[in-house]
Amino acid sequence: MEGITKRFGDVVANDDVDFSVEKGSIHALLGENGSGKTTLMSVLYGLYEKNAGTVSIDGEPREFESPRDAMDAGVGMIHQHFQLVETMTVLQNIVLGREPTEMGLVDTSTARSDIEEICSRYDFHVDQYLDTKVQDLDLGARQRVEIVKSLYRGADILILDEPTAVLTPQEIEDLLDLMEELADAGHSLVFITHKLGEALDAADEVTVLRDGRAIGTVDAAGTTEAELARMMVGREVQFDRPPRDPPEGDFVLNAEGLHVRGSRGLERVTDVDLGVREGEILGIAGVQGNGQTELVEALTGLRDVDSGTVRLNGEDITEANRRHRIDAGIAYIPEDRTTEGLVQDYTLVRNALLGNQTVEPFADGGMIDWSVVNDHAEAIIREYDVQPPDEGAKAKSLSGGNQQKFIVGREIEHDPDVMIASHPTRGVDIGSIEFIHDRLLELRDAGMGILVVSSKLDEIQKLADRIAVMYEGEFMDTVDPETTTEEELGLLMAGHDAGSGHGGGAGDDAPDGGSGRE
Amino acid sequence: MLRASVIERLAIATASTALALLIGVTIVAAAGYDPVQFITSMLQGALGGQSAVARTLRFSTLFILTGVAVAVAFRAGVFNIGVQGQFVVGGFMTIMSIVWTAPLLPEGAVGGVGLILIGFVAGAGSGGLYGALPGALKAYADANVIITTIMLNFIATGVVGWLVQNPFRGEGNAAPNTERIPEYVSFPSILFDSSGFSIVGLAIALAVVAVIYVVMERSRFGYDMVTSGHQESAATYSGVDAKRTVVSTMTLSGMVAGIAGAVFAIMIQGYYTDPSGIGTYGFDAIAVSLLAANNPLGIIPAGLLFGGLESAGSHIGIYTDVPVQLIDGVIGLVILFVAVPELFRMAAVRTGLGGEKR
- Interval A358-377: pLDDT, tens: 888 888 888 999 999 999 99
Tell me the nearest-neighbour CA distance from A498 into chain B, angstroms.
36
Residue count of chain B, please give it: 358
Question: Domains of chain B: which residue ranges?
Answer: 60-307
Question: What global pTM score does this model have?
Answer: 0.72
Reported in sequence order, the residue ranges of A172-249 that DSSP labels E, i.e. its strands, are 188-193, 205-210, 213-219
pLDDT of residue A510 exceeding 90, the answer is no
The sign of the torsion formed by the CA atoms of B94, B95, B97, B98 equals: positive
Q: How far apart are CA B15 and CA A400, in angstroms?
A: 39
Closest of B238, B95, B257, B313 to residue A411, by C-alpha: B238
ipTM score of the complex?
A: 0.79
| Residue-wise pLDDT tens digits, B195-219 | 788 889 999 999 999 999 999 999 9
Question: Comparing B351 with A460, which gets the higher pLDDT?
Answer: A460
Q: Are B54 and B192 in contact (CB under 8 A)?
A: yes
Q: How far apart are CA B141 and CA A231, in angstroms?
A: 46
A2-8 β-sheet, strand order? A11-17, A2-8, A52-57, A60-62
Q: Which range, A26-30, B85-89, B304-308, is most confident?
A: B85-89
Give the range among A61-65, A121-125, A210-214 with minimum mean pLDDT. A121-125
Give the pLDDT mean for B29-45: 86
Distance of CA B165 to the CA centre of its chain: 25
The mean pLDDT of chain A is 84
Report CB contact under 8 Å: B234, A354: yes
CB contact set of B45 (below 8 Å; sequence gap of 6+): B52, B55, B311, B312, B313, B314, B315, B316, B319
pLDDT of residue A504 exceeding 60, the answer is no
CB-CB neighbours of A313 under 10 Å: 16
Report CB contact under 8 Å: B358, A339: yes
| Residue-wise pLDDT tens digits, A280-296 | 999 998 877 788 899 99
> Each residue of B284-309: b (16+ CB within 10 Å) or e?
bbbbbbbbbbbbbbbbbbbbbbbbbb
Report CB contact under 8 Å: A343, B239: no
Q: How far apart are CA A253 and CA A274, in angstroms?
A: 8
Distance of CA B232 to the CA centre of its chain: 27
Name the class of domain B60-307: mainly alpha
CB contact set of A316 (below 8 Å; sequence gap of 6+): A309, A310
Report CB contact under 8 Å: A358, B230: no
Q: What's the pLDDT at B319?
A: 82
For A135, half-sphere exposure in the C-beta direction (CA atoms, 13 angstrom radius) is 4
Report CB contact under 8 Å: B239, A321: yes
Give the pLDDT mean for A10-28: 85
Give residue A194's region: left, alpha or beta (phi > 0; psi -120 to 50): alpha
Give residue A501's region: left, alpha or beta (phi > 0; psi -120 to 50): left
Q: How far apart are CA A274 and CA A446, in angstroms?
A: 21
For A72, half-sphere exposure in the C-beta direction (CA atoms, 13 angstrom radius) is 9
pLDDT band at A497 (very low <50, low <70, confident <90, very high): low
Give the range among A73-87, A119-133, B119-133, B237-251 with minimum mean pLDDT. A119-133
Picking from A326, A341, A368, the nearest residue to B218 by CB comes out as: A368
Closest B-chain CA to A9: B357
Picking from A339, A357, A368, the nearest residue to B231 by CB comes out as: A339
Percent of chain A with pLDDT over 70: 92
Q: What's the pLDDT at A517?
A: 33
Q: Are B349 and B355 in contact (CB under 8 A)?
A: yes
Q: How far apart are CA B157 and CA B275, in angstroms?
A: 5
pLDDT band at B184 (very low <50, low <70, confident <90, very high): confident
Give the pLDDT mean for A316-333: 92
Give the pLDDT mean for A311-315: 91
pLDDT band at A506 (very low <50, low <70, confident <90, very high): very low
Radius of gyration of chain B (CA): 21
Taking domain A2-223, whether its CATH number is 3.40.50.300 is answered by yes
Chain B, 221 to 260: residues with Cβ < 8 Å from chain A are: 221, 223-224, 227, 230-231, 233-234, 236-241
Q: Are A467 and A481 in contact (CB under 8 A)?
A: yes
Q: CA angle, corner A504, sides to A501 and A507, nearest 5?
A: 125
Q: What's the pLDDT at A105?
A: 81
Q: How far apart are CA A169 and CA A415, in angstroms?
A: 45
CB contact set of A274 (below 8 Å; sequence gap of 6+): A253, A254, A255, A282, A451, A468, A475, A504, A506
Give the pLDDT mean for A95-105: 81
Taking CB atoms and an 8 Å cutoff, what residues of chain B touch A326? 238-239
Question: Comparing A235 with A81, which gets the higher pLDDT?
Answer: A81
Q: Are A414 and A355 in contact (CB under 8 A)?
A: yes
pLDDT of residue A515 exceeding 70, the answer is no
Give the pLDDT mean for A53-60: 86
Q: Which range, A416-430, B20-34, B65-79, is most confident?
A: B65-79
Please give the single-letter amino acid code of residue B152.
L
SS (H, E, C) A215-230: EEEEEHHHCCHHHHHH
Chains A & B: contacts with CB separation below 8 Å = 72
- Greatest CA span in chain A, whole angstroms? 83
Q: How far apart are CA A219 and CA A26, in angstroms?
A: 11
Q: Which among A7, A321, A322, A410 is the top mutation candidate for probing chain B, defined by the most B β-carbons within 10 Å of its own β-carbon?
A: A322
Question: Comparing B221 with A434, which gets the higher pLDDT?
Answer: B221
Percent of chain B with pLDDT over 70: 92
Q: Are A239 and A458 in contact (CB under 8 A)?
A: yes
Q: How far apart are CA B60 and CA B67, in angstroms?
A: 10
Percent of chain B with pLDDT over 90: 49
Report CB contact under 8 Å: B227, A368: no
The torsion defined by the Cα of B245, B248, B251 and B252, in degrees rounded to 10, comes to: -100
Tell me the nearest-neighbour CA distance from B249 into chain A, angstroms.
16
Q: CA angle, corner A125, sides to A120 and A131, nearest 5?
A: 105
Percent of chain A with pLDDT over 90: 28
Element (H, E) at B42: helix B35-47
Picking from A326, A332, A339, the nearest residue to B234 by CB comes out as: A339
Angle between helix axes B281-291 and B296-319 (nearest 10 degrees) is: 130
B219 — contact with chain A (CB < 8 Å)?
yes
SS3 A385: coil
Q: What's the pLDDT at B354?
A: 45
Give the pLDDT mean for B181-198: 81
pLDDT of residue B180 exceeding 60, the answer is yes
Q: Are B48 and B37 in contact (CB under 8 A)?
A: no
Please give the single-letter amino acid code of residue A293.
T
Summarize chain B as % helix, strand, coil (round to 5). Answer: 75, 0, 25
SS (H, E, C) B249-275: HHHHHHHHHHHHHHHHHHHHHCCCCCH
Q: How far apart are CA A441 and CA A462, in angstroms?
A: 10
Question: Comparing A343 with A194, which gets the higher pLDDT?
Answer: A343
Closest of B177, B175, B155 to residue B164, by C-alpha: B177
Taking CB atoms and an 8 Å cutoff, what residues of chain A touch B218? 367-368, 370
> Each residue of B46-73: b (16+ CB within 10 Å) or e?
bebeeebbbbbbbbbbbbbbbbbbbbbb
Q: What are phi and psi of A267, to 5 degrees?
A: -70, 125
The torsion defined by the Cα of A291, A292, A298 and A301, in degrees rounded to 10, comes to: -140
Q: What's the pLDDT at B355?
A: 40
Give residue B227's region: left, alpha or beta (phi > 0; psi -120 to 50): alpha
Q: Are B239 and B85 in contact (CB under 8 A)?
A: no
Taking CB atoms and an 8 Å cutoff, what residues of chain A touch B238? 326, 354-357
Q: How far apart are CA A46 and CA B24, in angstroms?
A: 45
pLDDT band at B133 (very low <50, low <70, confident <90, very high): very high
The torsion defined by the Cα of A404, A408, A409 and A410, in degrees rounded to 10, comes to: 100
pLDDT of residue A37 exceeding 90, the answer is no
In this structure, the strands spanning A26-30 and A205-210 are: parallel
Closest of B341, B238, B214 to residue B290, by C-alpha: B341
DSSP type of residue A237:
S
pLDDT of residue B358 exceeding 50, the answer is no
Where are the alpha helices (H) located in B292-323, listed in sequence order? 296-319
Give the range among A63-72, A474-483, B322-331 with minimum mean pLDDT. B322-331
Q: What are phi and psi of B171, to 5 degrees?
A: -60, 130
> Each residue of A403-432: b (16+ CB within 10 Å) or e?
bbbbbbbbbbbbebbbbbbbbbbbbbeeeb
SS3 B183: coil
Q: Are B63 and B265 in contact (CB under 8 A)?
A: no
A267-277 β-sheet, strand order? A267-277, A251-261, A307-312, A315-316
| Residue-wise pLDDT tens digits, A247-279 | 778 899 999 999 999 877 788 899 999 999 999
Q: How far apart are CA A158 and CA A118, in angstroms?
A: 15
Closest of B148, B106, B107 to residue B130, by C-alpha: B148
Q: Are A1 and A18 in contact (CB under 8 A)?
A: yes
pLDDT of residue B344 exceeding 90, the answer is no
| Residue-wise pLDDT tens digits, A135-188 | 888 778 888 888 889 888 888 899 998 888 767 667 788 888 889 988 998 899
pLDDT of residue B347 exceeding 70, the answer is no
Q: What's the pLDDT at B346?
A: 65
Report CB contact under 8 Å: A355, B227: no
Distance of CA A290 to the CA centre of its chain: 9
